[in-house]
Chains A and B, each alone.
Chain A
């Protein structure tokens, strides 16, 4: 543990101010990437959760150290971990395509709450290290993650077609290009329209890339829009 913080380990006015300011500083940068992507949890949410969490461990220490009352100082803070878990669970969205969104934001918010607990308890080292590691993940690992994603053998696409024989052609192409169909969904619109829509979830097992498969499908005569999703 670092001796720099020895002056602010007890509950004094100075340490309360220091701890709360640390929360504001840590809650800010950990969300940077998110706000930019217009995800629901922004800078204020992160700072609020962080500050609220720090108030609980601070209060516990105040009751124990300053008032000398009989309590386990971990009791308040522990409930924060479960409570924020519930809030975060509510921040997860299910889209119409049956995909989950916001899970990473939720996990980040939950971790920020624990960072807040650490600051409130005077465990500055933990809070600072965790903030640094979170920044490291956001700044560097996230880029690597997107590269990995692009190299994934799994992909989904939507194709529009007008004639059932075109669907059979698509299926034949997929078979020839060693794309294993994991899931398939056909949608027909209401009367009056001729265009049908098919969604495929595939795993590539051969040497062909997703772009090549899509290119071949686009070359089918009379096929509508083909888009990767």
Chain B
């Protein structure tokens, strides 16, 4: 371990202040990066979670320090100390719930918010390391998490854009129009691998919908397929998912 950090691993007021600032910096940078892509969680969300997690571990360390100094005689008579990882362990749990609240499954068979949930959770876990004064791990984790969020996202979008597969959600006025939609898709040289048709029901305002899994020709653009379908008179909504 790097000796330079040793003075910052104590429970002095200055060392604690340093950990808080590090938590804000870490959470803030990751949050800003997520926010640039208009995500639900931003600078404030990430830094709050990071501060909270760091604080939980510092609280454990405080109790541990007190039990071994001021309350040492109590501990000797009762015969149990405290487990320093108890508070931190629940952070992993608690942020899991918080993340779960931000994941949504739309009526169109797509899952949203999973990366936000995973990012928040990772941020909380690094917050734990900050609170514990494990700065070496924090630095490495920060670099890797930042790279994943910043660069891998672009690669992901580009791959999706150029992908020969695409899933679309189409909503139309009645089931009679399925053939028309299929025709429009085929006119864009797309093959239909699979298709799920949903009957009109009370929640869909009497409209039928379909989720289609398509295979495209190499030069076909995703937006071309969408425009062709969207231009049909009977189609009320159409979206790539």
B223 touches A88 (CB 8 A): no
> What residues of B have a CB within 8 angstroms of the CB of A133 in the complex?
20-21, 23-24, 51
Q: Which of A1-35 contact B (CB under 8 A)?
A: 1-2, 9-10
Asked if A221 CB lies within 8 Å of chain B CBs, one says no
A88 touching B86, Cβ below 8 Å:
no
In the complex, B12 has a CB within 8 A of chain A = yes
* A90 near B38: Cβ-Cβ < 8 Å: no
Q: Are A154 and B101 closer than 8 Å at their CB atoms?
A: no
Q: Whole-angstrom distance between the alpha carbons of A141 and B28 in the complex?
A: 9
Bound complex: CA A86 to CA B67 (Å): 30
Distance, CA A89 to CA B120, complexed state (A): 13
On whether the beta carbons of B98 and A110 are closer than 8 Å, the reply is yes
Kindly provide the distance from the CB of A208 to the nearest chain B CB, expressed in whole angstroms: 18
Residues of A128-154 whose CB lies within 8 A of B: 129-130, 133-134, 136-138, 141-142, 144-145, 148-149, 152-154
Which secondary structure dominates where chain A touches chain B? helix
Assuming A111-B55, A114-B52, A141-B44, is B237 touching A188 (CB within 8 A)? yes
Chain A residue numbers with a CB within 8 Å of B231 are 164, 167-168
Does B98 lie within 8 Å of A88, measured CB to CB?
A: yes
In the docked arrangement, what's the CA distance between A108 and B102, Å? 15
* Shortest CB distance B213–A (Å): 18
Kindly list chain B residues whose C-beta atoms are within 8 Å of the C-beta of A100: 40-41, 102, 104, 113, 116
- What separation, in Å, do the CA atoms of A92 and B98 have in the docked complex? 8
Structural contact, B41 and A104, CB atoms closer than 8 A: yes
Q: Which of A80-100 contact B (CB under 8 A)?
A: 80-86, 88-92, 94, 98-100
Residues of A within 8 A of B86 (CB): 72, 74-75, 77-78
State in angstroms the CA–CA spacing of A133 and B11 once bound together: 18
Binds A, one of B56-64, B144-152, B192-200: B56-64
Residues of B contacting A111 in the complex (Cβ-Cβ under 8 angstroms): 48-49, 51-52, 55
B37, CB-defined interface residue at 8 Å: yes
- B226: interface (CB < 8 Å): yes
B55 pairs with A186, CB closer than 8 A: no
Residues of A202-227 whose CB lies within 8 A of B = 203
Q: Does B77 contact A (CB under 8 A)?
A: yes
Q: Is the CB of B49 within 8 A of A110?
A: yes
Residue of A whose beta carbon sits closest to that of B239: A185
A81 touches B101 (CB 8 A): no
Interface size class of B (residues with CB under 8 A): 35 or more
- Partner of B55 from the list A88, A126, A185, A187 (CB cut-off 8 Å) is A126
Does A115 belong to the interface (CB within 8 Å)? yes
Asked if A79 is an interface residue, CB under 8 A from chain B, the answer is: yes
Is B216 an interface residue, CB under 8 A from the partner? no
Greatest chain A CB density within 10 A among B60, B62, B71, B84 is at B62
Residue of B nearest to A132 (CB): B20
Smallest CB gap from A188: residue in B: B236
Tell me, yes or no, whether B87 is within 8 Å of chain A by CB.
yes
Given the known interface contacts A117-B59, A121-B62, the answer about A82 and B94 at a Cβ–Cβ threshold of 8 Å is: yes
24 A–B contacts, CB within 8 A, in A order = A2-B13, A68-B74, A68-B77, A70-B79, A74-B60, A75-B86, A77-B59, A77-B86, A79-B90, A81-B94, A83-B94, A85-B98, A100-B116, A107-B41, A110-B95, A111-B55, A113-B52, A129-B16, A129-B20, A145-B44, A171-B223, A171-B227, A185-B239, A186-B239
Which 8 A-B pairs give the minimum distances between C-beta atoms?
A85-B94, A89-B101, A100-B40, A111-B52, A74-B86, A92-B101, A81-B90, A85-B97
